[in-house]
Amino acid sequence: MGATSNVGVAGHGAGGAGGGAGAPARDESAPPGRDRAPTSAPRPFGALFWTAVAAVGVTYVRALAFTPVEALQGPAQKIFYLHAPAAFTALYLAFALMAISSVLYLWLRDPKLDRVAACSAEVGLAFTTVVLITGPLWAKPVWGTWWSGDARLTATLFLWLIILGYLVMRQAVEDRELRARYSAVLAILAGLLVPFIHLTVYLFRTLHPQPIVLKPSAPSMPAEMAVTFALAFVAFALLFVALLRARYRLALAAEAREEADGSGGPN
Amino acid sequence: MPPRDAGYAYAAYVAAALIYAGYALSIWWRWRRVARRSTRGPGAP
């Protein structure tokens, strides 16, 4: 997850949010010994990121100290405020954006769309990692086992592996256009798993609970818990946007560097 | 009788914080590496 992932694009000279991708313009005003920006692209983290960090901090405090303990599951139920927002963000924001951008890329061939898809996939992988770590930590005290191997858990693990493969493949293919095209196809196929994962609790016998928020009727939880959950969802969605923007800025800077070197290979 | 052990919840909150912070740091580290290479000029390792 923390490895350098290739988010190169299928074309040269494409601009994007936060700066263009032309030859690097040195920031000669930067003091000696400090990093200078490689392009006109700004630094990856700004006010949005620190706002998201503050929101996540408030969520932690509210969830752990000011939200009632659930009667049946005890303190372990508080993992819900991490696990469910991470799952929502990964599946319905990150991987949905990845799949939609990939469809649009195959249609419009705009390199920005390939870049957005790749960045979204990488950030989504981080959120899915949180889902796959916090899920067993919740399951052990409540179900009596770390992992049940049912359809939802297994499909989520498969999706994590497919996204990991997607990012590894981007490192392996040097031709930018081929890389973008292969990546788009794989991303669309991975995106098809998202509605399947959502429906697994209806289609298969499972230990995983039925949805208590994303369902036709009203969420089945007390108001205090619902407020904490809503706060958590907003905080982690904000964190997703901030990390996506940072990753996009990194991709722009890396591409500018590639073009200055005259190479089109993986960054 | 609900399980009273809060250790799992604390472990989950610490693990999530480490994953998000680690990922943010990886972005920062990669950006810094690109910035350093750029200050050395084209063709620098």
State the ipTM, two decimals: 0.89
CA distance A102 to chain B (A): 23
Chain B residues with CB under 8 Å of A163 CB are: none
Q: Does B45 touch chain A (CB under 8 A)?
A: no
Q: How much is the CA Rg of chain A, to the nearest whole Å? A: 20
In a domain, B45, yes or no: no
Q: Which residue of B has its CA nearest to A52?
A: B20
pTM of model > 0.95: no
The more confident residue out of A121 and A37 is A121
CB–CB contact A70 B28 (8 Å): no
Average pLDDT over residues A93-109: 98
Q: How many structural domains comprise chain B?
A: 1
pLDDT band at A11 (very low <50, low <70, confident <90, very high): very low
Mean confidence (pLDDT) of chain A: 84
Contact A103, A187 (CB under 8 A): no
Are B3 and A45 in contact (CB < 8 Å)?
no
DSSP string, A171-199: HH--SHHHHHHHHHHHHHHHHHHHHHHHH
Predicted confidence band at A227 (pLDDT cuts at 50, 70, 90)? very high
pLDDT of residue A42: 75
Residue B11 lies in domain:
1-38
**Mutation for A interface: B19, B33, B34, most A CBs within 10 A:** B34
User: Given pLDDT bands bounded at 50, 70 and 90, which one contains residue A249?
Assistant: very high
- Of how many residues is chain B composed? 45
Which of the pair, A23 or B3, is modelled with greater confidence? Answer: B3
More confident residue, A245 or A149: A245
For residue B44, what is the nearest residue in chain A, using CA coordinates?
A: A261
The verdict on a CB contact (< 8 Å) between B42 and A64 is no
Window A:228-257, CB contacts with B under 8 Å: 239, 243, 246-247, 249-250, 253-254, 256-257
Does residue B32 fall inside a structural domain?
Answer: yes
- pLDDT category at A21 given cuts 50, 70, 90 is very low
What is the pLDDT, as a whole number, of residue A132? 97
Please report whether residue B44 resides in a domain.
no
**A165-214: per-residue pLDDT in tens?**
999 999 999 899 999 999 999 999 999 999 999 988 888 877 777 766 66
Closest by CA position to A180, among listed A249, A103, A126, A241: A103
Q: Using CB atoms, which residue from A2, A254, A267 is nearest to B22?
A: A2
Whether residue B25 lies within 8 A of chain A, CB to CB, comes out as yes
Question: In chain A, what are the domain boundaries?
Answer: 45-213+221-255
Question: How many angstroms separate the most distant Cα atoms in chain A?
Answer: 63
Cross-chain residue pair A26–B30, CB shorter than 8 Å: no
Residue A28 above 50 pLDDT? no
A134 with B5: Cβ contact below 8 A? no
- For residue A258, what are the CA distances in angstroms to A91, A171, B10, B45? 32, 14, 43, 12
| Chain B residue closest in CA terms to A1 | B23
Backbone angles phi, psi at A16, to 5 degrees: -175, -175
Q: Do residue B13 and residue A261 have CB atoms under 8 angstroms apart?
A: no
Q: Which residue from B minimizes the CA distance to A248? A: B27
The packing angle between helices A176-203 and A95-108, to 10°, is 140
Interchain CB distance below 8 Å, A24 and B23: no
Residues of A in contact with B31 (CB under 8 A): 43-44, 246, 249-250, 253
Quote the tokens at residue A199: 């429906």
Question: Which of A1, A239, A257 comes nearest B37 by C-beta?
Answer: A257
Residue A8 has pLDDT above 60, yes or no: no
pLDDT band at A29 (very low <50, low <70, confident <90, very high): very low
Token representation of residue A128: 């899915």
